[in-house]
């Protein structure tokens, strides 16, 4: 490979080749609909509703979709609509990005972190029920909501989680931000609970540059979310407010991008699955590297996959005894800039280490791959190990902490070609010290 090789980013959605994004955005400007509402927003919601309501066997659901400014906003409003407020507790997966738990704190409630099970890396149903009963004993009331997460697009054990939620009468807010198009038993993630959050950030399966959506059970819930998302204005000819609202509606310009992106969503999902299959094939003969795979179970009537992941990111683990070139230099220098292609501003730190971090070979692999122009980042650090949540209740089994020490993510986005995958695997082979 030459030094002119492009950088292979972890996951970066790109525009379709149809030009529809430009067409719809131009229409927004030509008609002066450059506001957080408009024809593109309405049309994008219909496109999304058609997608999420169509099961793999052709049967239909009847969920409603509200487009919002971010996936984080979707979780925030879903929790608000579930009645979450100061003094409440919400059970949330610990092994996730902070957008799953931060909205709980926006509402003055307390995240109760639930560890993962080893098959899907998502919320452990047994720990969830243990937490529910323990919180009831300790606080006198059940948690107000449950937030499972489709980590890297992998479906959670939704049948078990929903059974527990129904048993105790607790609403489920599915964080399907990473799981756009992933299915459980043929049904799209985000359509099982009371609400389901989607994200269209620049690194997701499709993008609106920034944005999200909330899947709602019915029109009444959708209207409530829409009301909160548009500053909670009551029906008077002047501005009258009986509740605190938010400016969370999606822009008509961003929705225009989303309309075009919907035409390539199925292609993107198919591509990610293809990349995962190629990784599985090429890693098969590399000792010490283990690709995270979906549980090999069939769906209803023995047809299709029970866990039909979109493989938004392809994740893997590396055995602790595998030595990587440059490993002796891991964590020797404080990072001065943001890590990742589209990362934002970070706060400077004095130490290169924390009390919970990936193993040295994982960090060495990240640095080595970066020298080869390949992003290869650690998996999410569990929320219960984040300093900001150090005093929060947590129900643990050690799975997420163990995975954080050995896990890493591989590029899988629409720009990643078969040759890129082969190059990435060859680089990893080269990184391993025999």
DSSP string, 286-347: -TTEEE------B-GGG-SBSEE---SSEEEEE-TT--BTTGGGTT-S---S--STT-----
Q: Is 100 a domain residue?
A: yes
Q: What is the pLDDT of residue 350?
A: 84
Q: Mark which of 227, 248, 263 sits at the end of a domain.
A: 263
Query: Average pLDDT for residues 133-137, to the nearest whole number?
Result: 98
Q: Is 130 a domain residue?
A: yes
User: In 3-state terms, what secondary structure has residue 195?
Assistant: strand
Query: Average pLDDT for residues 33-41, to the nearest whole number?
Result: 79
Q: What is the pLDDT of residue 297?
A: 82
Cα separation, 80 vs 104, in Å, equals 9
Q: What is the pLDDT of residue 339?
A: 62
Alpha-carbon 94 to chain mean position:
13
Structure tokens at 139: 């606080």
Instruction: Tell whether 252 and 187 lie within a shared domain.
Output: yes
Whether the predicted pLDDT of 378 surpasses 90: yes
Instruction: Tell whether 248 and 348 lie within a shared domain.
Output: no
Instruction: Tell whether 119 and 257 lie within a shared domain.
Output: yes
Q: Is 1 a domain residue?
A: no
Q: Is 7 a domain residue?
A: no
The tens digit of pLDDT for each residue in 246-290 reads 999 999 999 999 999 999 999 999 999 999 999 999 999 999 999
Q: What is the pLDDT of residue 343?
A: 54
Give 405 or 21, the one with higher predicted confidence. 405
Q: What is the pLDDT of residue 241?
A: 97
The tens digit of pLDDT for each residue in 178-204 reads 999 999 999 999 999 999 999 999 889
Cα separation, 40 vs 201, in Å, equals 18
- Domain membership of residue 389 as a residue range: 266-431
Percent of the chain with pLDDT over 90: 82
Instruction: Tell whether 255 and 278 lie within a shared domain.
Output: no
CB 82 within 8 A of CB 201: no
Whether the predicted pLDDT of 9 surpasses 60: yes
Q: Mark which of 231, 263, 295 sits at the end of a domain.
A: 263
Q: Is 14 a domain residue?
A: no
Q: Mark which of 263, 298, 333 sits at the end of a domain.
A: 263
Instruction: Tell whether 194 and 88 lie within a shared domain.
Output: yes
Q: What is the CATH number of the domain that holds 186?
A: 3.40.640.10
Instruction: Tell whether 241 and 270 lie within a shared domain.
Output: no
Whether the predicted pLDDT of 1 surpasses 60: no
Instruction: Tell whether 253 and 313 lie within a shared domain.
Output: no
Q: What is the pLDDT of residue 340?
A: 56
User: In 3-state terms, what secondary structure has residue 50?
Assistant: helix
Whether the predicted pLDDT of 328 surpasses 80: yes
Domain count, the chain: 2
Q: What is the CATH number of the domain that holds 352?
A: 3.90.1150.10
Q: Is 101 a domain residue?
A: yes
Instruction: Tell whether 116 and 240 lie within a shared domain.
Output: yes
Instruction: Tell whether 349 and 206 lie within a shared domain.
Output: no
Instruction: Tell whether 38 and 100 lie within a shared domain.
Output: yes
Instruction: Tell whether 369 and 343 lie within a shared domain.
Output: yes
Cα separation, 177 vs 309, in Å, equals 13
User: In 3-state terms, what secondary structure has residue 95?
Assistant: coil
Closest C-alpha to 143, from 84, 198, 63, 67: 84
Q: What is the pLDDT of residue 35?
A: 63
Query: Average pLDDT for residues 363-391, to the nearest whole number?
Result: 97
Q: Is 4 a domain residue?
A: no
Q: What is the pLDDT of residue 434?
A: 85
Least confident stretch, 43-47, 203-207, 239-243, 288-292: 203-207
Helix (H) or strand (E) holding 52: helix 39-52
Query: Average pLDDT for residues 349-373, to the nearest whole number?
Result: 95
Read off the pLDDT band of 2 (50, 70, 90): very low
Q: Is 221 a domain residue?
A: yes
The tens digit of pLDDT for each residue in 228-241 reads 999 999 999 999 99
Q: What is the pLDDT of residue 304?
A: 78
Instruction: Tell whether 82 and 99 lie within a shared domain.
Output: yes
């Amino acid at each position: 490979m030459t030094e002119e090789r492009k950088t292979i980013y972890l996951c970066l959605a790109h525009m379709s080749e149809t030009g529809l994004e430009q067409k719809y955005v131009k229409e927004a400007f030509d008609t002066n609909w450059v506001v957080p509402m408009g024809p593109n927003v309405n049309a994008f919601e219909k496109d999304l509703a058609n997608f999420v309501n169509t099961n793999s066997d052709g049967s239909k659901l009847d969920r409603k979709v509200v487009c919002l400014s971010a996936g984080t906003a979707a979780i925030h409003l879903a929790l608000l609509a579930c009645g979450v407020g100061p003094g409440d507790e919400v059970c949330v997966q610990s092994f996730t990005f902070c957008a799953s738990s931060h909205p709980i704190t926006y509402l003055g409630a307390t995240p109760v972190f639930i560890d993962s099970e080893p098959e899907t890396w998502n919320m452990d149903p047994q720990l969830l029920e243990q937490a529910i009963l323990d919180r009831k004993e300790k606080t006198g009331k059940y948690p107000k909501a449950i937030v499972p997460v489709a980590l890297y697009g992998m479906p959670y054990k939704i049948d078990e989680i929903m059974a527990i939620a129904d048993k105790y009468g607790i609403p489920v807010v599915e964080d399907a931000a990473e799981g756009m198009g992933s299915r459980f038993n043929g049904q799209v993630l985000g359509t099982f609970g009371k609400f389901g959050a989607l994200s269209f950030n620049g690194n997701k399966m499709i993008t609106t540059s920034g944005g999200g959506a909330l899947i709602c059970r019915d029109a009444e819930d959708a209207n409530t979310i829409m009301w909160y998302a548009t500053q909670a204005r009551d029906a008077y000819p002047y501005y009258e407010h009986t509740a605190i609202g938010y400016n969370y509606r999606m822009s008509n310009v961003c929705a225009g991008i989303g309309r075009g992106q919907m035409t390539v969503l199925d292609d993107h999902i198919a591509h990610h699955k293809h990349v995962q299959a190629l990784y599985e094939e090429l890693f098969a003969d590399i000792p010490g590297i283990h690709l995270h795979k979906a549980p090999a179970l069939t769906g209803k009537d023995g047809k299709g996959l029970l866990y039909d992941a979109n493989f938004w990111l392809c994740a893997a683990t590396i055995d602790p005894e595998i030595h990587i070139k440059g490993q002796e230099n891991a964590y020797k220098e404080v990072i001065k800039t943001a890590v990742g292609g589209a990362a934002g501003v970070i706060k400077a730190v004095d130490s290169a280490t924390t009390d919970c971090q990936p193993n040295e070979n994982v960090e060495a692999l990240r640095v080595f791959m970066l020298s080869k122009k390949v992003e290869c980042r650690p998996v999410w650090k569990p929320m219960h190990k984040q300093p900001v949540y150090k005093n929060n209740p947590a129900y643990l089994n050690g799975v997420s902490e163990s995975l954080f020490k050995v896990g890493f993510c591989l590029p899988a986005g629409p720009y990643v070609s078969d040759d890129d995958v082969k190059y990435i695997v060859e680089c990893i082979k080269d990184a391993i010290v025999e």
